[in-house]
Amino acid sequence: MAKLSIPGAHGCRYDFLALGSIVQRFDPGVVPLHEAAHFDRYCSGGEYNPAANLAKCFGMRVAVASANVHYPPGWWIENEVKRAGVEAHFKWFPYDGVHGPRIANTYSDRGWGVRAPEVWYDRANEAGAMLAPGDFDWKDLFQVKRARWFHSGGIFASLSASSSALIIEAMTEAQSAGAVVSYDLNFRKKLWDATEGGSARAVEVNRRIASLVDVLIGNEEDLQLGLGVPGPDVSTRGKSHDTRAFQEVIGRVTAEHPNIKLVATSLREVHSASRHSWKAVMWYDGELHESAAVDLDVYDRIGGGDGFAAGLVYGLLMDKPPVDALRLGWAHGALLTTYPGDVTMARLEQVEALAAGGGARVVR
């Protein structure tokens, strides 16, 4: 089995470079969206969040390639990205107030108890979907500035034919420069079905992208629906911590895509909107590694998976043993569910303490 070959930090400007669309997420807390009058606003994105987490909590040198728009929400996003310690490479679009381009909005409440959270997308005419091959100078980013790790994801891929083509262009350049390439499937049926080709296009696009990656992040459902890999019917059973079906699906994925060296995911068993069981699993170098399971009192579930990805990538970049890297991802993702917003508020020592078995006692 092949192992990851991660470039050293010397001579690389970035430890991690992400490509994706950055959005505004509006959160009314536990108030249902249809009754909400007040919202907290968060800078978010399935591909951006791991980068921001790596910068804020783990002190990594990170950058994001994304779209932005010359109007107040775009300027706010520019400032939030800077505040997170992320270097931005934006393609800027003009704003005309009628036809776009614009910054997309996502609306999500937290639910409570037996009431599940709701997520609604408002992404028409978003600038991120207009990004296309040729919009970024990948040779400068990968050959001159250099990045150790490149990451993108299925949310960005779903937005348009040009956004998925841009991912493929970037991954090809990253691969040729020797960077590790990762992809989070993050399958969102609503987003894929809103574009031409729907879920059938999702499978076609994700399979093409999977042929270029070293690291694939996705749970059993992502792997089946996003890659079209056969497995147990995920629509008729609840998610659990039983990893046997996950192992079975991983075997099929890696047989079809032998370039993939690592597959990992966080696993949630949802007891209620505010009570989850949390675990993580990783297949690497022919071995399956599992974290412990922990029960979480969830403040805000959004971003937990991105938190897991960031902790895992940090551990791998720091050349930690695979099981230690997995524990860091598991711990950081768990902590992220205890904060408001999509980006971490954790400190590294808190992540390391939980990964090592620490609990919720008072630290004096």
CATH code for position 159: 3.40.1190.20
On whether residue 128 sits in a domain, the answer given is: yes
Rounded average pLDDT over 45-49:
98
Does pLDDT of 288 surpass 50? yes
The pLDDT-based confidence of 243 (bands split at 50, 70, 90) is confident
Give me the domain span that covers residue 271.
Answer: 16-355
Looking at residue 262, its pLDDT comes to: 97
| pLDDT value for 96 | 92
Is residue 11 domain-resident? no
The span from the CA of 316 to the CA of 43, in Å, is: 26
pLDDT at res. 364: 34
What's the pLDDT score for residue 289? 94
Mean pLDDT of 349-355: 97
Q: What is the maximal distance between C-alpha atoms in the chain? A: 56
- Give the pLDDT confidence score for residue 139 in this predicted structure: 97
Alpha-carbon distance of 340 to 343, in angstroms, equals 8
- Among 16-20, 106-110, 152-156, 194-198, where is mean pLDDT lowest? 194-198
**What residue ranges in 119-236 does DSSP mark as E strands?**
119-122, 149-153, 180-184, 215-217
Look at residue 156 and tell me whether its pLDDT is greater than 70: yes
pLDDT of 233 > 90? The answer is no
Average pLDDT, integer, range 89-118: 95
Q: What's residue 240's pLDDT?
A: 61
As for how many domains the chain has, the answer is: 1
Q: Distance of CA 208 to CAs 41, 246, 338, 350, Å?
A: 35, 21, 36, 38
Looking at the domain assignment, is residue 232 inside a domain?
A: yes
Give mean pLDDT, residues 83-103: 96
CA distance 317 to 338: 25
Per-residue model confidence (pLDDT) at position 241: 64
What average pLDDT does the chain have?
Answer: 93
Please, where are the H alpha helices in 159-197? 161-176, 189-193
Instruction: Tell me whether residue 362 is in a domain.
Output: no
Whether the pLDDT of residue 363 is over 50: the answer is no
Residue 364 lies inside a defined structural domain of this protein: no
Q: What is the mean pLDDT of residues 337-357?
A: 96
Q: Looking at residues 206-214, what average pLDDT do you find?
A: 97
Query: Is the pLDDT confidence value at 235 over 90?
Result: no
Lowest mean pLDDT among 256-260, 290-294, 359-363: 359-363
63 belongs to a structural domain: yes
pLDDT digits (tens, 9 = 90+) for 16-45: 999 999 999 999 999 999 999 999 999 999
Pick the more confident residue, 236 or 144: 144
Q: Is residue 164 part of a domain?
A: yes
Q: For residue 101, is the peptide bond before it cis, meaning its omega torsion is within 30 degrees of 0?
A: yes
Regarding predicted confidence, which is higher, 245 or 50? 50
Check pLDDT > 60 for residue 361. no
pLDDT score of 358: 56
Residue 49 pLDDT class (50, 70, 90 cuts): very high
Evaluate whether 345 touches 320 at the Cβ level (below 8 Å): no
Q: Which ranges of 212-282 would DSSP assign to H, the alpha helix?
A: 220-221, 227, 244-256
320 token code pair: 């930690």
In a domain, 41, yes or no: yes
Long-range Cβ pairs for the range 225-229 (8 Å, 24+): 225/187, 225/189, 225/199, 226/154, 226/185, 226/187, 226/202, 227/185, 227/203, 227/253, 228/203, 229/253, 229/256
**Whole-prediction pTM value?**
0.95
Using left for φ > 0, alpha for ψ between -120 and 50, and beta otherwise, residue 293 falls in beta
